[in-house]
Amino acid sequence: MDAFYASAELLRYPQLKGLPVIIGGGRRAEDEALKARYGDRLDEIPPEAFPQLKDYVGRGVITTATYPARAFGVGSAMGMMKAAKLCPQAILLPVDFARYRHFSRQFKAIITAMAPQMEDRGVDEVYIDFTHVEGGQDDHGRSLALRMQAAIHAATGLTCSVGVAPNKQLAKMASEFNKPNGVSIVLESDLQTMIWPLACRKINGVGPKADAKLQALGISTLGDLAAKDLPWLVEHFGRSYGAWLHASSWGRDNRPVVTESEPVSMSRETTFDRDLHAVRDKAELGAIFTELCQMVAADLQRKGYVGRTIGIKLRYPDFRIATRDHSLPLYTQDAAAIRHAAGQCLKRAPLDQRLRLLGVRVGGLLPLEQALAQGLVGDWQAMRQALRQAQSRPAIAEHKADPYTLPLFGDLD
Protein backbone atom coordinates (compact mmCIF):
# COMPACT_ATOMS: atom_id res chain seq x y z
CA MET A 1 0.00 0.00 0.00
CA ASP A 2 1.22 3.52 -0.78
CA ALA A 3 2.19 5.54 2.32
CA PHE A 4 -0.48 3.46 4.01
CA TYR A 5 -0.95 5.18 7.37
CA ALA A 6 -0.66 8.64 5.86
CA SER A 7 -3.11 7.80 3.07
CA ALA A 8 -5.61 6.46 5.60
CA GLU A 9 -5.38 9.77 7.48
CA LEU A 10 -5.83 11.84 4.31
CA LEU A 11 -9.15 10.11 3.69
CA ARG A 12 -10.56 11.85 6.75
CA TYR A 13 -8.46 14.99 6.31
CA PRO A 14 -8.73 15.57 2.53
CA GLN A 15 -7.78 19.22 3.05
CA LEU A 16 -4.22 18.05 3.81
CA LYS A 17 -3.62 16.40 0.42
CA GLY A 18 -0.50 17.72 -1.24
CA LEU A 19 0.92 19.00 2.06
CA PRO A 20 3.82 17.55 4.08
CA VAL A 21 2.22 15.46 6.84
CA ILE A 22 3.96 13.41 9.54
CA ILE A 23 2.25 10.54 11.39
CA GLY A 24 3.74 9.71 14.78
CA GLY A 25 3.09 9.39 18.49
CA GLY A 26 -0.16 9.22 20.40
CA ARG A 27 -2.96 11.75 20.71
CA ARG A 28 -1.86 15.06 22.20
CA ALA A 29 -3.70 17.93 23.85
CA GLU A 30 -3.82 19.81 20.54
CA ASP A 31 -5.52 16.84 18.85
CA GLU A 32 -8.12 16.60 21.61
CA ALA A 33 -8.80 20.34 21.33
CA LEU A 34 -9.47 20.04 17.58
CA LYS A 35 -11.74 17.05 18.17
CA ALA A 36 -13.69 18.94 20.82
CA ARG A 37 -14.10 21.98 18.57
CA TYR A 38 -14.99 20.28 15.27
CA GLY A 39 -16.47 16.95 16.38
CA ASP A 40 -17.05 14.74 13.34
CA ARG A 41 -16.53 17.62 10.90
CA LEU A 42 -12.87 16.75 10.50
CA ASP A 43 -12.72 17.84 6.87
CA GLU A 44 -13.59 21.39 7.97
CA ILE A 45 -10.47 21.85 10.10
CA PRO A 46 -8.29 24.42 8.32
CA PRO A 47 -4.75 23.17 7.65
CA GLU A 48 -3.24 26.01 9.69
CA ALA A 49 -5.14 24.80 12.77
CA PHE A 50 -3.26 21.48 12.94
CA PRO A 51 -0.16 21.08 15.13
CA GLN A 52 3.08 21.57 13.23
CA LEU A 53 6.24 19.53 13.59
CA LYS A 54 8.29 22.60 14.52
CA ASP A 55 6.39 22.87 17.81
CA TYR A 56 6.93 19.23 18.80
CA VAL A 57 9.00 18.57 21.91
CA GLY A 58 9.82 14.97 22.84
CA ARG A 59 11.54 11.83 21.63
CA GLY A 60 8.87 10.29 19.48
CA VAL A 61 9.71 8.81 16.09
CA ILE A 62 7.95 9.09 12.77
CA THR A 63 5.71 6.19 11.89
CA THR A 64 5.24 7.35 8.31
CA ALA A 65 5.05 10.50 6.20
CA THR A 66 3.27 11.67 3.08
CA TYR A 67 5.26 11.87 -0.14
CA PRO A 68 5.49 15.72 0.03
CA ALA A 69 7.10 15.33 3.47
CA ARG A 70 9.47 12.64 2.25
CA ALA A 71 10.76 15.08 -0.36
CA PHE A 72 12.40 16.96 2.54
CA GLY A 73 14.35 13.86 3.59
CA VAL A 74 12.14 12.72 6.46
CA GLY A 75 10.91 9.16 6.78
CA SER A 76 9.76 6.38 9.06
CA ALA A 77 11.77 5.65 12.24
CA MET A 78 13.39 9.11 12.17
CA GLY A 79 13.18 11.08 15.41
CA MET A 80 10.55 13.81 15.15
CA MET A 81 12.85 16.42 16.67
CA LYS A 82 15.40 15.67 13.93
CA ALA A 83 12.68 15.73 11.28
CA ALA A 84 11.52 19.13 12.55
CA LYS A 85 14.83 20.61 11.42
CA LEU A 86 14.31 19.25 7.91
CA CYS A 87 10.61 20.02 7.51
CA PRO A 88 9.38 22.30 10.32
CA GLN A 89 6.19 23.20 8.47
CA ALA A 90 4.99 19.58 8.35
CA ILE A 91 1.61 18.90 9.93
CA LEU A 92 1.76 16.40 12.78
CA LEU A 93 -1.00 13.81 13.21
CA PRO A 94 -1.24 11.04 15.86
CA VAL A 95 -1.10 7.36 15.00
CA ASP A 96 -4.45 5.50 14.85
CA PHE A 97 -3.62 1.80 14.58
CA ALA A 98 -7.24 0.67 14.88
CA ARG A 99 -8.06 2.61 11.70
CA TYR A 100 -5.10 1.17 9.83
CA ARG A 101 -5.95 -2.40 10.85
CA HIS A 102 -9.49 -1.84 9.57
CA PHE A 103 -8.23 -0.80 6.13
CA SER A 104 -5.67 -3.62 6.18
CA ARG A 105 -8.39 -6.23 6.64
CA GLN A 106 -10.42 -4.62 3.85
CA PHE A 107 -7.74 -4.63 1.17
CA LYS A 108 -6.57 -8.15 2.02
CA ALA A 109 -10.11 -9.48 1.75
CA ILE A 110 -10.37 -7.95 -1.72
CA ILE A 111 -7.10 -9.56 -2.78
CA THR A 112 -7.95 -13.05 -1.51
CA ALA A 113 -11.33 -12.88 -3.26
CA MET A 114 -9.45 -12.42 -6.54
CA ALA A 115 -6.26 -14.41 -5.84
CA PRO A 116 -6.52 -16.76 -2.83
CA GLN A 117 -2.79 -17.59 -2.72
CA MET A 118 -1.73 -14.61 -0.57
CA GLU A 119 1.11 -14.33 1.93
CA ASP A 120 0.47 -11.74 4.65
CA ARG A 121 3.62 -9.70 5.27
CA GLY A 122 2.24 -7.17 7.70
CA VAL A 123 -0.37 -4.49 7.89
CA ASP A 124 0.34 -2.99 4.45
CA GLU A 125 2.19 -5.59 2.36
CA VAL A 126 1.40 -8.98 0.82
CA TYR A 127 2.81 -11.43 -1.71
CA ILE A 128 0.36 -12.94 -4.21
CA ASP A 129 0.77 -16.01 -6.44
CA PHE A 130 -0.94 -15.30 -9.79
CA THR A 131 0.05 -18.65 -11.33
CA HIS A 132 -3.31 -20.41 -11.20
CA VAL A 133 -5.61 -17.37 -11.15
CA GLU A 134 -7.84 -17.02 -14.20
CA GLY A 135 -6.30 -14.29 -16.35
CA GLY A 136 -3.35 -14.03 -14.02
CA GLN A 137 -0.84 -14.48 -16.84
CA ASP A 138 -2.48 -12.07 -19.27
CA ASP A 139 -0.12 -9.27 -20.26
CA HIS A 140 2.48 -10.73 -17.84
CA GLY A 141 0.10 -10.20 -14.90
CA ARG A 142 -0.52 -6.50 -15.53
CA SER A 143 -4.25 -6.93 -16.22
CA LEU A 144 -4.93 -8.67 -12.92
CA ALA A 145 -2.77 -6.18 -11.03
CA LEU A 146 -4.76 -3.28 -12.50
CA ARG A 147 -8.05 -4.93 -11.58
CA MET A 148 -6.85 -5.39 -8.00
CA GLN A 149 -5.77 -1.77 -7.77
CA ALA A 150 -9.14 -0.59 -9.06
CA ALA A 151 -11.08 -2.82 -6.66
CA ILE A 152 -9.02 -1.73 -3.64
CA HIS A 153 -9.39 1.95 -4.53
CA ALA A 154 -13.14 1.62 -5.09
CA ALA A 155 -13.65 -0.05 -1.70
CA THR A 156 -11.22 1.93 0.45
CA GLY A 157 -10.18 5.06 -1.44
CA LEU A 158 -6.54 3.95 -1.04
CA THR A 159 -3.92 3.25 -3.69
CA CYS A 160 -1.29 0.53 -3.89
CA SER A 161 1.74 -0.22 -6.01
CA VAL A 162 2.25 -3.68 -7.48
CA GLY A 163 5.42 -5.40 -8.59
CA VAL A 164 5.00 -8.47 -10.81
CA ALA A 165 7.97 -10.80 -11.23
CA PRO A 166 8.93 -14.49 -11.35
CA ASN A 167 9.73 -14.60 -7.61
CA LYS A 168 9.26 -12.75 -4.31
CA GLN A 169 12.65 -11.06 -4.25
CA LEU A 170 12.21 -9.44 -7.66
CA ALA A 171 8.55 -8.63 -7.01
CA LYS A 172 9.47 -6.78 -3.82
CA MET A 173 12.02 -4.69 -5.73
CA ALA A 174 9.62 -4.07 -8.62
CA SER A 175 6.92 -2.80 -6.26
CA GLU A 176 9.18 0.19 -5.46
CA PHE A 177 9.76 1.19 -9.08
CA ASN A 178 6.60 3.11 -9.84
CA LYS A 179 5.10 4.57 -6.67
CA PRO A 180 2.44 5.65 -6.01
CA ASN A 181 -0.33 3.60 -7.67
CA GLY A 182 1.92 1.98 -10.24
CA VAL A 183 2.34 -1.48 -11.74
CA SER A 184 5.87 -2.62 -12.63
CA ILE A 185 6.69 -5.81 -14.51
CA VAL A 186 10.12 -7.45 -14.23
CA LEU A 187 10.80 -10.48 -16.42
CA GLU A 188 13.84 -12.74 -16.28
CA SER A 189 15.11 -11.02 -19.41
CA ASP A 190 15.00 -7.65 -17.61
CA LEU A 191 17.62 -8.59 -15.03
CA GLN A 192 20.55 -6.75 -16.61
CA THR A 193 18.63 -3.62 -17.61
CA MET A 194 16.31 -3.15 -14.61
CA ILE A 195 17.95 -4.91 -11.65
CA TRP A 196 21.72 -4.76 -12.04
CA PRO A 197 21.92 -0.93 -12.12
CA LEU A 198 20.29 -0.77 -8.67
CA ALA A 199 22.20 -0.22 -5.42
CA CYS A 200 22.81 -3.35 -3.34
CA ARG A 201 20.69 -1.88 -0.54
CA LYS A 202 17.65 -2.39 -2.78
CA ILE A 203 17.79 -6.10 -1.96
CA ASN A 204 15.57 -6.86 1.00
CA GLY A 205 18.17 -8.39 3.30
CA VAL A 206 21.19 -6.15 2.69
CA GLY A 207 21.46 -3.87 5.71
CA PRO A 208 23.76 -0.93 6.47
CA LYS A 209 26.65 -3.07 7.76
CA ALA A 210 26.62 -5.47 4.83
CA ASP A 211 26.31 -2.57 2.39
CA ALA A 212 29.26 -0.78 4.00
CA LYS A 213 31.38 -3.92 3.61
CA LEU A 214 30.29 -4.30 -0.01
CA GLN A 215 31.15 -0.66 -0.68
CA ALA A 216 34.58 -1.14 0.91
CA LEU A 217 35.14 -4.04 -1.48
CA GLY A 218 34.23 -1.88 -4.45
CA ILE A 219 30.72 -3.28 -4.91
CA SER A 220 28.06 -0.57 -5.29
CA THR A 221 25.42 -2.04 -7.60
CA LEU A 222 23.78 -5.41 -8.05
CA GLY A 223 25.64 -5.65 -11.34
CA ASP A 224 28.93 -5.32 -9.46
CA LEU A 225 27.74 -8.02 -7.07
CA ALA A 226 26.69 -10.35 -9.89
CA ALA A 227 30.16 -9.99 -11.42
CA LYS A 228 31.73 -11.63 -8.35
CA ASP A 229 31.88 -15.40 -8.42
CA LEU A 230 30.40 -17.54 -5.67
CA PRO A 231 33.68 -18.68 -4.01
CA TRP A 232 34.80 -15.02 -3.67
CA LEU A 233 31.53 -14.03 -1.98
CA VAL A 234 31.65 -17.05 0.33
CA GLU A 235 35.23 -16.17 1.28
CA HIS A 236 34.26 -12.61 2.24
CA PHE A 237 30.72 -13.10 3.60
CA GLY A 238 30.51 -16.68 4.77
CA ARG A 239 28.96 -19.73 3.17
CA SER A 240 25.29 -18.97 3.80
CA TYR A 241 25.17 -15.19 3.33
CA GLY A 242 27.64 -15.27 0.46
CA ALA A 243 25.54 -17.85 -1.39
CA TRP A 244 22.42 -15.77 -0.76
CA LEU A 245 24.07 -12.60 -2.09
CA HIS A 246 25.13 -14.44 -5.23
CA ALA A 247 21.66 -15.86 -5.84
CA SER A 248 19.95 -12.54 -5.15
CA SER A 249 22.17 -10.61 -7.56
CA TRP A 250 21.15 -13.06 -10.27
CA GLY A 251 17.45 -12.73 -9.42
CA ARG A 252 17.10 -16.22 -7.96
CA ASP A 253 14.63 -16.83 -5.15
CA ASN A 254 12.87 -20.17 -4.63
CA ARG A 255 10.76 -19.16 -1.63
CA PRO A 256 7.09 -20.08 -2.10
CA VAL A 257 4.16 -17.83 -1.25
CA VAL A 258 3.21 -19.02 2.24
CA THR A 259 -0.50 -18.64 2.87
CA GLU A 260 -0.50 -19.77 6.50
CA SER A 261 2.06 -19.16 9.22
CA GLU A 262 1.89 -19.12 12.99
CA PRO A 263 3.15 -16.04 14.83
CA VAL A 264 5.96 -16.64 17.29
CA SER A 265 5.03 -13.81 19.65
CA MET A 266 3.01 -10.61 19.96
CA SER A 267 4.23 -7.45 21.62
CA ARG A 268 3.50 -3.82 22.33
CA GLU A 269 5.95 -1.12 23.35
CA THR A 270 6.14 2.63 23.71
CA THR A 271 8.89 5.23 23.87
CA PHE A 272 8.24 7.98 26.42
CA ASP A 273 8.36 11.67 25.59
CA ARG A 274 10.56 12.05 28.68
CA ASP A 275 12.51 9.58 30.80
CA LEU A 276 10.33 8.12 33.57
CA HIS A 277 11.48 6.98 37.00
CA ALA A 278 10.15 3.75 38.53
CA VAL A 279 9.42 5.46 41.86
CA ARG A 280 8.82 9.14 41.17
CA ASP A 281 6.71 8.40 38.08
CA LYS A 282 5.10 5.26 39.47
CA ALA A 283 1.51 6.23 38.70
CA GLU A 284 2.22 7.22 35.10
CA LEU A 285 4.35 4.14 34.46
CA GLY A 286 1.73 1.92 36.06
CA ALA A 287 -0.99 3.22 33.75
CA ILE A 288 1.21 2.77 30.67
CA PHE A 289 2.35 -0.68 31.77
CA THR A 290 -1.22 -1.87 32.33
CA GLU A 291 -2.36 -0.41 29.02
CA LEU A 292 0.41 -2.23 27.14
CA CYS A 293 -0.66 -5.52 28.74
CA GLN A 294 -4.27 -4.85 27.83
CA MET A 295 -3.30 -4.05 24.24
CA VAL A 296 -1.30 -7.29 23.88
CA ALA A 297 -4.20 -9.23 25.38
CA ALA A 298 -6.58 -7.62 22.88
CA ASP A 299 -4.23 -8.54 20.02
CA LEU A 300 -4.18 -12.16 21.18
CA GLN A 301 -7.96 -12.27 21.52
CA ARG A 302 -8.54 -10.68 18.12
CA LYS A 303 -6.17 -13.09 16.36
CA GLY A 304 -7.19 -16.20 18.32
CA TYR A 305 -3.98 -17.03 20.18
CA VAL A 306 -2.86 -17.68 23.73
CA GLY A 307 0.68 -17.52 25.11
CA ARG A 308 2.63 -18.84 28.06
CA THR A 309 5.87 -16.83 28.13
CA ILE A 310 5.47 -13.22 29.22
CA GLY A 311 8.36 -10.84 28.69
CA ILE A 312 9.28 -7.20 29.16
CA LYS A 313 11.69 -4.89 27.41
CA LEU A 314 13.29 -1.84 29.03
CA ARG A 315 15.43 0.77 27.34
CA TYR A 316 17.44 3.20 29.43
CA PRO A 317 18.60 6.76 28.59
CA ASP A 318 21.97 5.43 27.41
CA PHE A 319 20.07 3.09 25.01
CA ARG A 320 21.05 -0.07 26.86
CA ILE A 321 18.27 -2.66 26.73
CA ALA A 322 17.18 -5.13 29.41
CA THR A 323 14.76 -8.00 28.81
CA ARG A 324 13.22 -10.46 31.25
CA ASP A 325 10.83 -13.41 30.75
CA HIS A 326 8.41 -15.23 33.03
CA SER A 327 6.67 -18.52 32.20
CA LEU A 328 3.10 -19.14 33.30
CA PRO A 329 1.64 -22.50 34.34
CA LEU A 330 -1.08 -22.16 31.69
CA TYR A 331 -1.55 -20.43 28.34
CA THR A 332 -3.52 -17.20 28.46
CA GLN A 333 -4.84 -14.16 26.64
CA ASP A 334 -6.10 -12.60 29.87
CA ALA A 335 -4.88 -9.04 30.51
CA ALA A 336 -4.71 -9.47 34.29
CA ALA A 337 -2.61 -12.63 34.02
CA ILE A 338 -0.28 -10.96 31.54
CA ARG A 339 -0.02 -7.86 33.75
CA HIS A 340 0.93 -9.81 36.87
CA ALA A 341 3.43 -12.02 35.04
CA ALA A 342 5.01 -8.96 33.42
CA GLY A 343 5.29 -7.51 36.92
CA GLN A 344 7.37 -10.50 37.94
CA CYS A 345 9.75 -9.73 35.10
CA LEU A 346 10.08 -6.13 36.27
CA LYS A 347 11.13 -7.27 39.74
CA ARG A 348 14.18 -8.94 38.18
CA ALA A 349 15.14 -5.96 36.04
CA PRO A 350 17.35 -3.00 37.03
CA LEU A 351 15.09 -0.08 37.92
CA ASP A 352 17.67 2.26 39.43
CA GLN A 353 17.79 4.36 36.24
CA ARG A 354 15.07 6.22 34.45
CA LEU A 355 13.33 4.45 31.59
CA ARG A 356 13.16 5.57 27.98
CA LEU A 357 11.04 2.73 26.63
CA LEU A 358 8.80 0.01 28.05
CA GLY A 359 7.50 -3.02 26.18
CA VAL A 360 5.47 -6.15 26.92
CA ARG A 361 5.65 -9.38 24.91
CA VAL A 362 3.74 -12.67 24.94
CA GLY A 363 5.56 -15.63 23.40
CA GLY A 364 5.21 -19.39 23.16
CA LEU A 365 1.94 -18.96 21.27
CA LEU A 366 -0.67 -21.59 20.49
CA PRO A 367 -3.95 -21.21 18.59
CA LEU A 368 -6.71 -20.77 21.16
CA GLU A 369 -8.73 -23.74 19.89
CA GLN A 370 -5.74 -26.06 20.13
CA ALA A 371 -4.90 -24.93 23.66
CA LEU A 372 -8.56 -25.23 24.77
CA ALA A 373 -8.77 -28.78 23.40
CA GLN A 374 -5.78 -29.72 25.56
CA GLY A 375 -7.11 -27.96 28.65
CA LEU A 376 -4.15 -25.60 28.77
CA VAL A 377 -5.90 -22.21 28.88
CA GLY A 378 -6.44 -20.14 32.01
CA ASP A 379 -7.41 -16.65 33.07
CA TRP A 380 -5.96 -14.83 36.10
CA GLN A 381 -7.95 -16.82 38.64
CA ALA A 382 -7.07 -20.15 37.01
CA MET A 383 -3.43 -19.09 36.96
CA ARG A 384 -3.46 -18.45 40.71
CA GLN A 385 -5.10 -21.82 41.32
CA ALA A 386 -2.49 -23.58 39.19
CA LEU A 387 0.24 -21.85 41.15
CA ARG A 388 -1.29 -22.98 44.45
CA GLN A 389 -1.38 -26.58 43.27
CA ALA A 390 2.18 -26.43 41.93
CA GLN A 391 3.57 -25.07 45.18
CA SER A 392 1.17 -27.00 47.47
CA ARG A 393 0.42 -23.89 49.51
CA PRO A 394 -3.32 -23.57 50.10
CA ALA A 395 -3.08 -20.07 51.57
CA ILE A 396 -0.85 -18.54 48.92
CA ALA A 397 -3.38 -15.82 48.06
CA GLU A 398 -2.85 -14.25 51.48
CA HIS A 399 0.86 -15.07 51.83
CA LYS A 400 3.07 -12.00 51.66
CA ALA A 401 5.61 -13.89 49.58
CA ASP A 402 3.06 -14.63 46.86
CA PRO A 403 4.74 -13.17 43.76
CA TYR A 404 1.43 -12.57 42.05
CA THR A 405 0.12 -10.15 44.66
CA LEU A 406 3.10 -7.81 44.91
CA PRO A 407 2.37 -4.59 43.00
CA LEU A 408 4.87 -2.91 40.72
CA PHE A 409 4.23 0.39 38.96
CA GLY A 410 0.95 0.46 40.90
CA ASP A 411 -1.40 -2.34 41.80
CA LEU A 412 -3.65 -3.73 39.04
CA ASP A 413 -6.34 -4.47 41.57
The residues annotated as belonging to the active site are: 125
Distances (CA, A) of 143 to 17, 108, 135, 139: 29, 18, 8, 6
What residues have CB less than 8 Å from 340, skipping those under 6 apart?
A: 380, 383, 404, 412
CA pair distance 179, 163, nearest whole angstrom: 10
Q: Of 321, 401, 388, which Cα lies nearest the Cα of 361?
A: 321
Is the previous residue joined to 407 through a cis bond, with omega within 30 degrees of 0? no
Let me know: does 272 contact 356? Beta carbons within 8 Å.
Answer: yes
Q: Of 96, 108, 90, which Cα lies nearest the Cα of 158?
A: 108
220 CB burial (10 A radius; 0-12, 13-18, 19+): middle
Residue 112's SS3 state is helix
Let me know: does 306 contact 300? Beta carbons within 8 Å.
Answer: yes
